[in-house]
Chain A
Amino acid sequence: MNIKIIYIVLSVIILSGCSSNKAIVAIDYFPPQTKTIVLLESDIELSEHTVGGMLVPKSDWTKLAKENLNKAIQNKLNSIRANVKNISENNALDQKGIQLMKTMAAMGNTVLIHNFIANASLPTKKDNPVWSMGKETSYLKQKYNADYGLFFFVRDQFTSDARQATKIFAALLGIQMAAAIQQAYAGIVDLENGKLVWFNHLLKTSGDTRTQKGANEMIFELMKDMPS
């Protein structure tokens, strides 16, 4: 019994500290100082992990995280002296733009699955991990008058108090409940030809993008290998 408890406590400690972060798809040379880069609309969602394991999206947290992350991204881009363009309210996406963003998200998810998950690599992409979403992206190039598009996908989960209590209780009984995770990826697309020039992701069981500090940490980790 004692050994069991020690084992559980240890595994909880190990798990809560674990994070996986592999840099990726190194690609073409990307000179941010001479080219313009547009920060595209990010897909950010924060949610609460309930006792029953349901993810309940939280709009107030999401709003907060969006502001924090946006600030962190701007700071990062400024620090490498990138020439950044921002999407203004009156330059919102039309239908074609939304469809391109959907394609970009589909590409991001595909890269995430086939480049980062073991045993899911594609035979045709093994030696030549070049991804492209086609030349249609030139539409965005014209619309925003930018050379590159930077996109983000962020999911940040938080264990509810009730679930936290249930987790501790369950762990003592030898039952392990899934942890809340923080997952994000970012990519840069060459808007001229739709090629993905850089991509990175992170998956952790810690972090909090509701605070500026947490958002800074995430962006620092996510973008540290960005070519500059």
Chain B
Amino acid sequence: MKPFLKYFFLTLVIIYLSACADSLNKYSEPIKNIIPKNTEKNKDLNTDLTFKYSIDDLPTNYNPESDPNALVDELGLWMQVEKIEKSTITAGNLVKNKNLNNYINKVFCKVSPEYCNEIRIYIINVPYFNAAMYPNGMMHIWTGALLRIQNEAQLASLISHELAHYLKRHSYQAYERAISISGASTIGGILLGAAGLGSINQLIQLGMASNFYSYGRNDEREADGYGLVLMARGGYKPEEAANLWKRIIATSKKLSLLEVSIFRNTHPSGPEREKNLRKTAKIVPKNNSEFIGKKEYLKALEPIVPSLIAKEVKQGEFESSLLLFDKLIKDDFYLPYVYFSRGELYRTKKDHIDFDKAMENYKISEKYSTIEVKNLYKSIGLIYIKMGNKKNAKESFNKYISLHPDANDTNFIKSFMETL
């Protein structure tokens, strides 16, 4: 390279860096912090030594929209989230059952009387374990979580975990980090690309992403800690938070190595969380914290159980659905539905089809109730057809039609039977 060009480039780099200085300064805090400290990791393993989460750390009248210190980016984030909320209110998969919604709101108010009227909880019919807190005070709970939760205390633990994210402004901080880290990795990438180190650039991007997610892990730990504080204050037995994680681990299929590595980046591992929660539950400040509320929870869930289970079957993860149904049977959870649905898994899931096992489950469901599960005799009829037993198939279809004469597929089944 000619000396002239060298200086030309050097000058450019200086001009460029000084032009960016402002933006780098603005985000200097998170960028400095993206290098994870080893000591922090060790601290996490020793949570039982001192309890570092106190209810006094949480604001009692936090209202993001009236925050005079709100930054420009934060206002923009709310603009987006308000749109999401508007769309959520009219979403087709919103669970509108009044009693269930009232019940969940009641549990929330027990956990946090301060924010009883501020937080809006929406139940979304998606068959995966998830809940999400938005920075404007909107909370989503997916029905996959409701099907895995066993009692009111576990529901309270999920709600208080999400509320802790909100009160600690985690989603806004994650958003700021995403902006600054994506910027840092772009600048780094260009500089390295210029130096002919393009492949290293990819490694850096990966490193940046993993730093971003390591924050996610810390946020989760913090939310777990404050979550326990909130639920125990509300009178719920804090050990149930650990039991919820035990349940999630028991009803999840084993992840592939790749899935594990991606998931581990954003969340502490399930067993780690269960262990930490169990340890911390012993030392969290209690307030008569003994309530579990299994009966109350199951009663509130009852009206939507058929639709929850049907969605779980449709979801297509044979292994985890089977694990879940096995656990639900152990818990005596709405047995006619669960046995029927386990039969449906064996009847419909590719690579796992087993007519004998399906029939076995349908028959148990029938023993509990012949009318509770609407599609029971239809499914039994379909299995008989696959087995080549037309006589029994017709008999089952006739039972279905006589039990549900107004069903919208009776005419279809009648004409189908004529072809048998």
Q: Which residues of A contact B (CB under 8 A)?
A: 1, 45, 47, 50-54, 56-60, 62, 95, 98-99, 102, 160-162, 165-166, 168-170, 172-173, 175
Question: Once bound together, how far apart are the Cα atoms of A102 and B16, in whole Å?
Answer: 44
With A162-B22, A165-B20 as given contacts, are A52 and B79 in contact (CB-CB < 8 Å)?
Answer: no
A99 — which chain B residues lie within 8 A by C-beta? 90
Q: Is the CB of B80 within 8 A of A57?
A: yes
Task: Kindly list the 6 A-B residue pairs having the minimum CB-CB distance in the complex, ordered from nearest.
Answer: A52-B182, A51-B183, A162-B23, A165-B19, A57-B76, A52-B183
Q: A161-B19, A161-B22, A169-B16 are in contact. Are A57 and B77 (CB under 8 A)?
A: yes
Query: What residues on B are CB-neighbors of A53 within 8 Å?
Result: 182, 186
Which residues of B are found within 8 Å of A166, using beta-carbon distances?
16, 20, 186-187, 190
Question: Looking at B13, B24, B76, B187, which has the most chain A CB atoms within 10 Å of its CB?
Answer: B76
Q: Is the CB of B90 within 8 A of A169?
A: no
List, in ascending order, chain A residues with CB within 8 A of B151's CB: none
Q: How many A-B residue pairs have CB under 8 A?
A: 82
Structural contact, B193 and A52, CB atoms closer than 8 A: no
Is B73 among interface residues, defined by CB-CB distance under 8 A?
yes
How far, in whole Å, are A102 and B88 apart by their CA atoms in the complex? 11
Asked whether A98 and B79 contact (CB < 8 A) given A51-B187, A53-B182, the answer is: no
Verify A98–B86 contact, CB threshold 8 A. Answer: yes
Contact B16 A51 (CB under 8 A): no
Residues of B within 8 A of A162 (CB): 19-20, 22-24, 183
Q: Please provide the chain B residues from 1 to 47 with a CB less than 8 Å away from any CB of chain A in the complex.
A: 5, 12-13, 15-16, 19-20, 22-24
What is the chain A residue whose CB lies nearest that of B74? A59
Considering only CB atoms, which chain B residue lies closest to A160 in the complex?
Answer: B23
Residue of B nearest to A170 (CB): B190
Instruction: Indicate whether A52 sits within 8 Å of B186 (C-beta atoms), given known contacts A59-B78, A102-B87.
Output: yes
- Chain B, residue nearest A57 (CB): B76
Chain A residues, Cβ within 8 Å of B392: none
Contacts known (A59-B78, A59-B79, A162-B183); A51 close to B20, Cβ less than 8 A: yes
The docked-state distance in angstroms from the alpha carbon of A56 to that of B73 is: 7
- The answer to whether the Cβ of B111 comes within 8 Å of any Cβ in the partner chain is no
- Alpha-carbon distance between A95 and B91 when the two chains are bound, in angstroms: 10
